[in-house]
Structure 1
Amino acid sequence: MGFNEVVKLSDGEMKCYASGSQDESTPAVIVIQEIFGVNANIRATTDRLAAAGFRAVAPDLFWRLRPGVVLDPEQPDARAEAMQLAQRYGDDIDQGIADLAVLVAALRERHSKVGMVGYCLGGRVAFLGWLRLDVDAAVSYYGVGIAPLLEDMDAPEKPLLMHLGADDPLNPPQVQGAIAERLAREAQADVRVYEGAGHAFARLAASTYVESAAKPADEATYQFLQTHLG
């Protein structure tokens, strides 16, 4: 199933894949994609969150660059295209965050609380959402480019859960240490590192999937969201 919801912005429309109850008492969770777009993995992740009792919405981050990007991370030629899109998105990250602010506001009009969960590129965006957006809680899975954001960080009081793979080449030990050291000063932040797991260890139906890390990380995520959004 493709996109089934639209967020109207001042200069266009950002399509989303959404799943779950639209009842006002149901908390909403924004699912932030990896660099490969709102693909089968992200849609499945969205459906799982919906099954756990949330209104889950996955926006098309790259809509300003190339709407409807769907790439398969198992295909070698997809990575170069995905990396280029991610770089261009990152070059104008303020615009991307502004787009998400509109989505947060739209969800707040109906739902009791709003959270955010992101993976890879989305893990960085979710961390930025924790810092800058009106969300009640945020979860970052193996977010890339987190360390530079720690400098002069003014941490909000809302809760953050971060998952990192101990063997993630995009978050080597020194980066993990810097993240853990800085966030240890924030009582509302919880950083968890999983041994034997690399990058994208929670990507569903993928060669990178590591059940021994993904299962407890996902269980912790659902419990965290239920606690802080329920």
Structure 2
Amino acid sequence: MAGQTVTITTPDGSFEAYQNGAGPGLVVIQEIFGINQVMRDLCDDFAEQGYTAICPDLFWRMKPGVELTDKTEEEWNQAFEYMNNFDIDKGVDDIAQTIDYARRTGTGKVGAVGYCLGGLLAYLTACRTDSDATVGYYGVNVDKYLDEASKIERPLTLHIAAEDRFVDKDQQKAMIDGLEDNPHTTLFRYEGVDHAFAREGGEHYDAEAAGLANTRTRKFFQDHLG
């Protein structure tokens, strides 16, 4: 099934999203590189699993249609510039609007899954929206938002890279300590792997850890989204 570009209208304006599949909704939250081939491939994979996968363009307020890779220093610098100027709160608002869109246009429940910057946004999605089930991969700066953990009322899974270059051991411990008492939250820590261990083709891709994390994610969504 081929994906398509759809438009989501919000009180702040309209932005595009990549969409593929049919079934329960799943908002796929981008990394710092925009909606690139990696994100489209993830949507296509989730579509094959039976979901309506939707990846919203969260950088649209700065520049619509950002599409970078992790292959050159120039693109990394651009990606970090977008991340540093990104409004986290507005991003979560856009995810909430995408969830609403998925509920209006799809069938059944709606969840979310995010990677890198999207891992943080996935955590905040669990805190601030009505996502039915949420997964975050190697989210950065989650420890800065632990005061919102008490708002999590639906299932959340976080995948943590033990050797994450962007999330040191103290930050990881803070995440684990801050979330371990929340009955809706499950954390998995993967030893010996770095940030973005699940990004196929990436420098730190680890097939074994990625396979385990993705298997856990698949079961999690099967259990909670149906």
TM-score by length of 2: 0.95
2:66 is matched with 69
Do the aligned partners of 1:140 and 1:162 also contact (CA within 8 Å) in 2? yes
Instruction: Give the residue type in structure 1 aligned to 2:9.
Output: K
Which digits, 9 at most, give the CA deviation of each residue in 1:22-73, with x for residues without a partner?
xxxx211000010001111111111111111111001111011110000011
* Matches of 2:3 and 2:16, distance apart in 1: 10
SS of 1:63's equivalent?
coil
| Alignment match, 1:102 | 97
Is the contact between residue 197 and residue 206 of structure 2 (CA under 8 Å) also seen in structure 1? Answer: yes
Aligned to 2:206: 210
Q: Which residue of 2 aligns with 1:125?
A: 121
Find the residue that maps to 2:34 and give its secondary structure: coil
Is the contact between residue 120 and residue 143 of structure 1 (CA under 8 Å) also seen in structure 2? yes
Alignment partner of 2:149: what SS? Answer: coil
* Uncovered stretches (5+) of structure 2, i.e. residues with no partner: none
Counterparts of 1:36 and 1:53, CA distance in 2: 26
Unmatched runs of 5 consecutive residues or more in structure 1? none
1:117-156: per-residue Cα shift (whole Å, max 9, x none)?
0000000111110000110011000001100101363232
Distance (whole Å) between structure 1 residues aligned to residue 204 and residue 6 of structure 2: 30
What CA distance in whole angstroms lies between the structure 1 residues aligned with 2:4 and 2:33? Answer: 15
Q: Given that residues 3 and 15 in structure 1 are in contact (C-alpha distance below 8 angstroms), is that contact kept between their aligned partners in structure 2?
A: no
Q: Is the 2:28–2:54 Cα contact (8 Å) retained in structure 1?
A: yes
C-alpha distance 220-191 of structure 1, shift in aligned 2 (>3 A): same
Residue 101 of structure 1 aligns to which amino acid in structure 2? A
What secondary structure sits across from 2:123 in the alignment?
helix
What is aligned with 1:137?
133
Partner of 1:79: 76
Deviation at 1:2, TM superposition (A): 8.1
Q: Distance in 2 between matches of 1:140 and 1:32?
A: 9
**Could you tell me which residue of structure 2 aligns to residue 151 of structure 1?**
147
**What displacement does 1:171 show?**
1.2
Q: Percent identity?
A: 38
How many residues in Structure 1 have an aligned counterpart in Structure 2?
224
TM-score normalized by structure 1? Answer: 0.93
1:44 aligns with 2:45: no
Give the secondary structure class of the aligned counterpart of 2:59: helix
Aligned CA RMSD, in angstroms, stands at 1.4
Matched, 1:9 2:17: no
Question: In 1, distance between residues paired with 2:187 and 2:121?
Answer: 16
Rounded Cα–Cα distance in structure 2 between residues aligned with 1:199 and 1:35: 13
